[in-house]
Structures are given as structure tokens and as C-alpha cells.
Amino acid sequence: MIKTYLYAGVTLLVAVLVDYILRSFIRVPKRFGTKRTHTIASVIRNLITTVVYIVALYIILSLFGINLTPLLASATVIGIVFGIGARGIIEDFVNGLFLLSLDSIAIGDYLQIGTTFIQGDITEGIVERIGARALTIRTDNGTVHIIPNGQIRKIINFSRQKFNIIIDLPVKINQEIDVIIKAAENALEQLQKDPAYAELITPVSEVKGIENFKEAETMIIRVIITTSPVHRNEIARKYRLLVKKEFEKHKLAFA
């Protein structure tokens, strides 16, 4: 019996070493180091690990005299397996392959994901890992969400295009419109010249002008800033700070 446990331990150790060696072979050359290639490499590594440990488990069970063939051939056992969770596992794998085949997401992309956990449940963040069964997302506050591929129902990928931040400034109508527009433009220009944000903001960003009138004493000045979705909240806050300072400088009032 001791010999059996020893062989089982050696088998597990060999599995760990084989997994490490095979995964180390899956490397992406620098000249091909795109998000897509890194994503595919990550999935291949995960599949290697799954296969290696399944084989190791089979060998270890065989060492203890557990014959899996009759169990696998049993319709009753197969029915129980499928009833408990095999359907979900297969769905996770199929959805994972579907996401990769469409080239819809890659590691490092910024996504908004709708799931079937709770109606209206939305997760938003950066893709850290794409596995055969699950997707790992890190949100803006640092929390990590592991979402089964089979639960994903909707994906919005912000990384494939720029994001428009729409900022509506409510101001009192009894003020000079040219001064208001100029103050908003000065704030935008300062933001575009800030070294921390200059490369994140596209030149098409602009102050659009009067968007609407609300009630008798309020008008809405619309500003559109085109940037990366990852930094949109930070940039929006910075612009609001700058425009507030500009309004104070010119003694302008918000509504």
C-alpha cells in the first residue's frame, strides 16, 4: 500500500513537471506579440494543464485499483454526470471557443459583460485571463470577477474603438454665451496639454455648443471628449475640475 502511495506521489510530481515544461514551450515571439496571440497562447496553456492532470488522475486511480472503464460505460453514471453539471461544462467550453473564433476579445481588452446570473447584472473591466471555462475580469476598483463562459450573454468591447465622453454643463441663461463657450474650450485645451492626458485625448474632442434649454433659466452646453474607455472616468473628473476653475475665473454660474 505504501508503494502505491509512493507511485501516486511520483505520478503527481511528474504531472507537475510535464505541465510546467509543456507550458514553457508555449511562448509568443516579440514580433508576434499581439493581444490575439497572447490570448491564444493562454488558452493553449490552460488546455495543456487540463489534459495533463486528467491523465495523471486516471493513472493514480488505476494505481488504487479503481477501474474507470465500467463507470464511464455505465449509462446511469453518464446520465448523473450530465444531469449534475456536464451540460454547463460543455456550454462553457463551446462559448469559450466561440469567443476565440470570432476574435471578439483578447487579454488586455476593456469589456462590459452582461451575464445570466442576475437580470441586468453588468461587469466592466480589463480582461486578465481567458480560460477554457471562464473569463477573468479585473474591475476599476481592483476586484477580480471570474465569469463562466457559459454565463456570458452580452459583450461590449471598448478597446476596439475610442470612447466618447459626453459632458453636459448646465449654466444660467442670463450670461454671455461667448464667454461660457470660451471658458469650456479653455478647460478642454488645458486638459489636452496636460502631459498626463495629452496622449489619451483625440483632436476631435470639442465643445459642441448649446445642446438644449431647460426650464426658463437653464441651458445645456455639451462637450464631447474622445478618449480611451479605460481612462474615461478619470478624464471626465479632470475636465469638470478645470471647467469649474474657468467658470470661477470668469465669474460664471452653473444652473
Give me the CATH number covering residue 235: 3.30.70.100
Tens of pLDDT, residue by residue over 81-118, are 555 555 666 666 767 667 766 667 888 888 888 876 55
How many separate domains does the chain show?
2
> Is 89 part of any domain?
no
Q: How far is CA 81 from the centre of its chain?
A: 32
Domain-located, residue 22 = yes
Mean pLDDT, to the nearest integer, of 21-28?
76
Residue 155: the pLDDT is 84
Please give the average per-residue pLDDT across 239-255, as a whole number: 95
Residue positions counted in the chain: 255
Task: Give the residue from 73, 99, 134 where a domain finishes.
Answer: 73
φ, ψ for residue 169, nearest 5 deg: -105, 110
pLDDT of 147 reads: 87
106 within some domain: no
pLDDT confidence bin for 172, thresholds 50/70/90: very high
59 belongs to a structural domain: yes
Rounded Cα distance between 177 and 31, Å, is 53
Q: Is residue 19 part of a domain?
A: yes
**Any idea which of 38-42, 226-230, 241-245 has the lowest mean pLDDT?**
38-42
In a domain, 34, yes or no: yes
For Cα atoms 80, 88, 109, give the angle at the middle one, nearest 5 degrees: 160
pLDDT digits (tens, 9 = 90+) for 110-164: 888 887 655 557 888 888 888 777 889 998 788 998 888 888 888 888 776 778 8
Domain that holds residue 193: 163-249
Output the pLDDT for position 119: 54
Per-residue pLDDT of 183-196, as tens digits, reads 999 999 999 999 99
Q: Is residue 184 in a domain?
A: yes
Q: Domain for residue 102, yes or no?
A: no
Q: What is the pTM of this model?
A: 0.53
What percent of the chain clears pLDDT 90, i.e. is strictly above it? Answer: 27
